[in-house]
């Protein structure tokens, strides 16, 4: 089956720093990648959709200047949380989708901002 | 507004019991309905349903979709402690490729 990786798995940082999370599709070309956020005991909330080579489309209420998304190639998308604050602490999950494929999820990245 | 509703929110059973999890939806441009199992990490794929009345089965798990009544069920027979997880239902919209997730059903299976 299709494999999607995320790096890092866990990150703890100080308030005010920026954190970059990578999402890679390892064995297929992902025309679209999605970024989700999940707070404890809640469901996944879509943050943004990114297509290779174009700007990401953000969901309502998600600050595009705070959550920078770059989909530089068909196998890599990055999410940068700029000037992170404690309320940004969450579980960030990416998914990747090729042509005529369903979405495959990465293992997720837990972010804790102190 | 598109929405996916799951019930119950939480379920506690003993090993060997059979459980039925429900998912109803109101989504324009429906493409497919998906079930996922989430333990401590990201969701793992269980089933994708696109047609009404065709049961998908994998071991003790099975699922079916009713596109007329806009719901799906996920059945787990002879539950085991390893089935303890949050089960997520999501609907994919054909015009956006987005997945709209329900709130999930938390299943706990005790020995």
The string of DSSP codes covering B5-18 is EEE-SEEEEETT--
CA dihedral B92, A33, A51, A77 (to 10 degrees): 170
Nearest to A43 among B34, B41, B102 (CB): B102
Any residues with CB less than 8 A from the CB of A55 and at least 6 apart, and which?
A: none
- Distance, in Å, from the CA atom of B86 to the CA atom of A111, rounded to the nearest integer, reads 21
Nearest to A105 among B32, B43, B96 (CB): B43
Question: Omega of the bond prior to A14 within 30 degrees of 0, cis?
Answer: no
Q: Is the pLDDT of residue B53 over 70?
A: yes
Contact flag B45-A32 (C-beta cutoff 8 Å): no
- Distance, in Å, from the CA atom of A96 to the CA atom of A25, rounded to the nearest integer, reads 7
- Of the pLDDT bands very low, low, confident and very high (cuts 50, 70, 90), residue B105 is very high
How does pLDDT run across A50-96, given as a tens digit for each residue? 988 888 999 999 999 999 999 888 899 999 999 999 999 999 999 99
- Distance, in Å, from the CA atom of B44 to the CA atom of B20, rounded to the nearest integer, reads 19
Chain B residues touching residue A97 (CB < 8 angstroms) = 97
Residue A42 sits at the chain B interface (C-beta within 8 Å): yes
Please report, in angstroms and rounded to a whole number, the separation of the first and last CA atoms in chain A: 37
């Amino acid at each position: 089956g299709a494999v999607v990786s995320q790096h890092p798995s866990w990150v703890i940082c100080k308030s005010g720093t920026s954190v970059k999370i990578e999402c890679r599709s390892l064995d297929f070309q992902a025309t679209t990648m999605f970024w989700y956020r999940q707070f404890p005991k809640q469901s996944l909330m879509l943050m943004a959709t990114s297509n290779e080579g174009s700007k990401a489309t953000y969901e309502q209420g998600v600050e595009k200047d705070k959550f920078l998304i770059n989909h530089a190639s068909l196998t890599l998308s990055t999410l940068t949380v700029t000037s992170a604050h404690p309320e940004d602490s969450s579980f960030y999950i990416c998914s990747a989708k090729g042509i005529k494929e369903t979405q495959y999820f990465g293992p997720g990245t837990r972010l804790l901002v102190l | 507004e598109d929405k996916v509703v799951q019930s119950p929110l939480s379920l506690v059973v003993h090993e060997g019991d059979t459980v039925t999890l429900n998912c109803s939806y109101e989504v324009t441009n429906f493409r497919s309905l998906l079930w996922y199992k989430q333990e401590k990490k990201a969701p793992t794929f269980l089933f994708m349903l696109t047609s009404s009345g065709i049961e998908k089965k994998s071991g003790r798990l099975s699922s079916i979709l009713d596109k007329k009544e806009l719901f799906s069920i996920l059945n787990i027979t002879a539950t085991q402690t390893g089935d303890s997880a949050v089960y997520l239902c999501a609907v994919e919209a054909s015009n956006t490729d987005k997945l709209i997730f329900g709130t999930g059903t938390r299943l706990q299976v005790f020995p």
